[in-house]
Amino acid sequence: MASKGLTVQQRKSIFHALVAAQDTGGVTVVESKKQVAAEFHITKEQLDLIEKEGVDKDWPPLNE
């Protein structure tokens, strides 16, 4: 299940930020996850769930 307390739109925004951070290529995947989790005040576990949900549901920017 998705992170409790976060709306679908919030989760999509977090997912978008994660993909954008990884696409820049300036940091490792691990570092990008740390940055995005800190930025949105969520745990690594919550971010992992959001990442899986975003990939499974083909959220933007994947479907753009």
pLDDT at site 35: 95
**What 3-state DSSP class applies to 54?**
helix
pLDDT tens-digit readout, 2-46 = 556 899 999 999 999 999 998 887 889 999 999 999 999 999 999
In the chain, beta strands by DSSP E: none
pLDDT at site 36: 96
Q: Is the pTM of this model over 0.85?
A: yes
d(CA 30, CA 5): 24
pLDDT at site 1: 38
